[in-house]
Chains A and B, each alone.
Chain A
Amino acid sequence: MKEADPIVFVVDDDPLIRDGLRSLIKSVGLRVETFGSSREFMQRRPSDAPSCLVLDVRLPGLSGLDLQRELNESEFQIPIIFMTGHGDIPMSVRAMKNGAQEFLTKPVRGQDLLDAVQQAIARDRAARRERAKMADLRMRFDSLTPREREVLDLIVAGLLNKQIAGELNIEEVTIKSHRAHIMRKTHAESLAHLVRMNEELKILRR
């Protein structure tokens, strides 16, 4: 399946800036959607395309930082490029801590913004892939039965089949069968691969 065209979301209450940014981004061939407030943006369904959000810190109602927080708490994962006036250092620190992709001060130089947008889209694209991979991984591991999961834990802990059989008080031949199921269900190519995937999932779960 071919990947959808990237899309840039712009949220700024100032129509002049909104239009300027829309025009600028459009000029490099990217899709743009603009919004006058955080609420307006929140009503949009998350896109499947690689995307980024160009967000003004100061907004009427829900501020840029509030929107960032709400997005972080939701499933709508998107890199955010903040724009703000001079002197909002505490605000920018907060934004970066919360995972802002970029922090640009107004007036934003066009090339800086476009660079930031391209980077953000690339990162989102990578993140999406990563998320898709992890989702796949989790799906595989989730298909394990509780007994298979018990066996997996002991396998990745480095125990031999015999030891696992002793530990779980079942036949070694049964352990072997579980092991074969685990390797097939998780598409593991080797024991090392299985261990690595299990580690990645642990990180994800943490």
Chain B
Amino acid sequence: MSTANNRSGNWQAAGEVGTAPVSRESILCTDELNVRPSRAPDYKTENRALVALAKALADSPQTILQILADTILEVFQCDSAGLSLLTTNDGGKHFYWPAIAGQWKPYIGSGTPRDFGPCGDVLDSNCALMFRHFEKFYTYLPPVEECLLVPFYVDGKAVGTIWAISEGHRRKFDAEDMRQLVSLGRFASTAYQAVTLLKAKAQLAAIVESSDAAIISTDLNGIILSWNSGAERLFGYAADEVVGQSVTMLIPLDRVDEEPSILERIRRGEHARYETVRHRKDGTLLDISLTLSPIIDASGKAVGASKIARDIAERKRAEEALRLSHISLEHLVEQRTSSLLATQVELARVARVAIIGELTASIAHEINQPLAGIVANADACLAWLSTPQQNLDEAKKAAGSMILAATRASEVIARIRSLITKAAPERLKLNINEVIEEALVLARTEAMNNNVSVVTELASDLPIVLGDRIQLQQVILNLALNGIAAMSSIHDRPRRLLIRSQTQDADRVLVAVQDSGIGMRPDVMARLFEPFFTTKSQGIGMGLPISRSIIEGHGGRLWAESTLSQGSTFQFTLPTQACGVA
């Protein structure tokens, strides 16, 4: 007899299959059962065994397999008895031994590869077999006299073997042993299946019960059949309050239509998942996600519905919070953008007012001039009417001149007003040449006072640009005044301000304001567009930054070029209307 040491080992490590000195057939002796003298069927013993098994099944279903092994050992009066089951986690490549009684009991829990011994042969042939001295072929197994094995079925499929071993000459198995082993095995299969089912059910129930989610089952009419503790927590109803009631009791009035369509889908065997609202026992509403599955019976027919409901209030809250924060962020950005825009508009206006301030004397003259024209012509008109001969032609001519002069005065005032008043920027179709001429109206006198001749070279066929007339006038006026100021100390050459317009790259209009002034040093050039940077004693240093922001706001570019003691050129481009810059 092998040592206990030997028996606790793992069979996989022992010996090599191919070194057996005998054939597999030589150890098989199943046929001998037919020739051995057989006893009459011992139903009494068999019944006793079955009753013991049934009792064990009722008392402690978990140990049914061990009870089976113990029962076989006792009924058969053999040396060892046990069960080998195919492993399920590796696709049945191994046997393991869940229950053994007798000599081999220490091997409980260990196992062998599927094609390692007699058990594999039984499954291959799918019938009961008897071996004699199987250690002669499977040399790594302990020596036995005889071993009887029958397949063990679960759901009609052989998943293992039940076996009895005799280690000495005193016990030889006969046909009656075989019959009884098959019978016990059949009973054990059924019991095992029942136990497994019970176990699975209990497990399922435990899972359902311990689930956080509300798991509800209904029949096809929506009557609640089961109600787990998750459902109790979620809806506030205890199981006995709702089982037998219609699930519509959970559905808010405005959603009762949902249930018939749910049941219809369930009847068709469809699954569904959606988000909806239900109410609790206390009437409060509840945002849930609902997963619906049909409960299918053995015949494949839908007999009810399982519903898993989850509280998504937290998620909804998070989503809502996210949405709200998005909205408030967008709102904030909008607010900031519009306040920034308003600031820019206001800043540009302030800069314009500052320009007007610098131009006060020039502008007074600009308005006074037409007034003087009006007075002169009115006097002339009166004089012609007062002479004895009354020269009406001359009087009419003078009156016509008065109208012209008055119109000019009001134009100047309108131009100043528009520069001073606050107005949202517009995008209108503009002829840039008109804008230049209008801006120069206000710069003309300033130029004259500084002995600057203003020359324009305006291209006649310029495309239309989209822009804000006042803002662009502001830019041109600003550049013109800067140019005039830059020439105030020039005495050795003509003070000449040249304003050019031309097309550039087919889709742009370029406006250049060129002076013959002192020019700019590189360090001044570098800081030109910085706010509050100024070289003028009275400047506020906002003219150029604002001009640039206006031009860039129009989708254009403003830059400067300068040669020291020769003059500077400020130029900007604007996209033409075709470019469609808003």
- Chain A residues within CB distance 8 Å of chain B: 13-14, 16-17, 19-21, 23-24, 26-28, 58-61, 63, 83, 85-87, 106-111, 113
Most buried by B among A28, A83, A110: A110
**Count of chain A to chain B residue pairs whose CB atoms are closer than 8 Å in the complex:** 103
* A109 x B379 contact (CB < 8 A): yes
A107 x B371 contact (CB < 8 A) = yes
- Please name the residue on chain A nearest to B387 by beta carbon: A27
Given contacts A16-B408, A106-B371, A107-B368, contact A27 B384 (CB under 8 A): yes
Chain B residues lying within 8 Å of A13, measured Cβ to Cβ, are 448
Known contacts A16-B376, A58-B365; 16 further A-B pairs (Cβ under 8 A): A14-B373, A17-B369, A17-B373, A19-B401, A20-B402, A23-B398, A26-B380, A27-B383, A58-B445, A60-B448, A61-B451, A85-B365, A85-B369, A86-B368, A109-B375, A110-B380
B199 within 8 A of A: no
Known: A23-B398, A24-B383, A27-B384. A107 touches B391 (CB 8 A): no
CB neighbours (8 Å) of A108 from chain B are 372, 375-376
Residues of B within 8 A of A87 (CB): 361, 364
Q: Is the pair B368, A85 in contact by a Cβ cutoff of 8 Å?
A: yes
Q: Is there contact, CB below 8 Å, between A24 and B379?
A: yes
Q: Point out the residues of chain B lying under 8 angstroms from A17, CB to CB.
A: 369, 372-373, 376
Chain A residue numbers with a CB within 8 Å of B373 are 14, 16-17, 20
CB distance from B383 to the nearest CB of A (A): 4
Q: Which residues of A contact B368 (CB under 8 A)?
A: 85-86, 106-107
Which A residues touch B397, using CB under 8 A?
19, 23
Question: Closest chain A residue to B368 by CB distance?
Answer: A85
State whether A16 touches B365 (Cβ < 8 A). Answer: no
Asked if B329 is at the interface (CB within 8 A of a chain A CB), the reply is no
Known contacts A16-B405, A58-B449; is-contact A24 B376 (Cβ 8 Å): yes
A-B contacts, 28 listed (Cβ < 8 Å): A13-B448, A14-B372, A16-B377, A16-B404, A19-B397, A20-B379, A20-B398, A20-B402, A21-B380, A23-B384, A23-B397, A24-B376, A24-B377, A26-B380, A27-B380, A58-B445, A58-B448, A59-B448, A60-B453, A85-B364, A87-B361, A106-B371, A106-B375, A107-B368, A107-B374, A107-B376, A110-B383, A113-B379
Contacting residues, chain B, for A61 (C-beta < 8 A)? 451, 453
Expressed in whole angstroms, the Cα–Cα distance for A37 and B487 within the complex equals 22
Q: With the chains together, A128 CA to B378 CA distance in Å?
A: 33
**B376 in complex: contacting residue of A21, A58, A59, CB < 8 Å:** A21
Give the most central of A17, A21, A28, A106: most B CB within 10 Å.
A17
Chain A nearest Cβ from B497, distance in angstroms = 13
Return chain B residues, CB-CB under 8 Å to A19: 377, 397-398, 401
Quick one: closest B residue to A104, CB to CB? B372
Q: Establish whether residues B372 and A107, one from each chain, have CB atoms under 8 Å apart when the complex forms.
A: yes
Residues of A within 8 A of B384 (CB): 23, 27
- What is the CA–CA distance of A21 and B375 in the complex, to the nearest angstrom? 9
* Chain B nearest CB, measured from A70 CB (Å): 15
State the B residues within 8 Å of A (CB): 361, 364-365, 368-384, 387, 391, 394, 397-398, 401-402, 404-405, 408, 445, 448-449, 451, 453
B379 touches A26 (CB 8 A): no
Closest Cβ–Cβ distance, residue A74 to chain B (whole Å): 22
- Which residue in chain B gives the minimum CB-CB distance to A16? B373
Give the docked Cα–Cα distance between A19 and B399 (Å). Answer: 11
**Which A residues are in CB contact (< 8 Å) with B382?**
110
Asked whether B379 lies within 8 Å of A106 as measured between CB atoms, the reply is no
Contact in complex: A111, B379 (CB < 8 Å): yes
Q: Is the CB of A107 within 8 A of B375?
A: yes
- Nearest residue (CB) in A for B444 is A60
Question: Which residues on the B side are within 8 Å of A110 (C-beta)?
Answer: 375-376, 378-380, 382-383
CA distance A183 to B315 in the complex (A): 130
Closest to B377 in A: A20
Closest residue of chain B to A25 (Cβ to Cβ) is B380
Q: How near does chain B come to A54, taking the closest CB pair, in angstroms?
A: 10
Q: In whole angstroms, what is the CA distance A13 to B369 when docked? A: 10
> CA–CA, A86 to B374, complex, Å?
16
* Contact between chains at A86 and B372 (CB < 8 Å): no
Neighbouring B residues of A14 by C-beta, 8 Å: 369, 372-373
Which B residues are in CB contact (< 8 Å) with A85?
Answer: 364-365, 368-369
Give Cα A28–Cα B384 distance, bound, in whole angstroms: 9
Cβ of A37 to closest chain B Cβ, rounded Å: 11
Q: Which residues of B are found within 8 Å of A83, using beta-carbon distances?
A: 372
CA gap between A110 and B384 in the complex, in Å: 12
- Closest Cβ neighbor of B370 among chain A residues: A16
With both beta carbons as reference points, the residue of chain A lying nearest to B384 in the complex is identified as A27
How far apart sit A16 and B384, CA to CA, in the bound complex (Å)?
Answer: 17
The 10 A-B residue pairs whose C-beta atoms are closest, nearest first, are A110-B379, A20-B376, A16-B373, A27-B383, A23-B380, A107-B375, A106-B372, A20-B377, A24-B380, A107-B372
Residue of A nearest to B365 (CB): A85
B306 CB, min distance to chain A CBs, angstroms: 97
Q: Are A28 and B383 closer than 8 Å at their CB atoms?
A: yes
- A27: chain B residues at CB < 8 Å are 380, 383-384, 387, 391, 394
Q: Chain A residues with Cβ under 8 A from B372's Cβ?
A: 14, 17, 83, 106-108
How distant is the Cα of A20 from the Cα of B398 in the complex, in angstroms?
Answer: 6
A86 & B364 in contact (Cβ 8 Å cutoff) = yes
Contact of B380 among A20, A58, A63 (CB under 8 A): A20
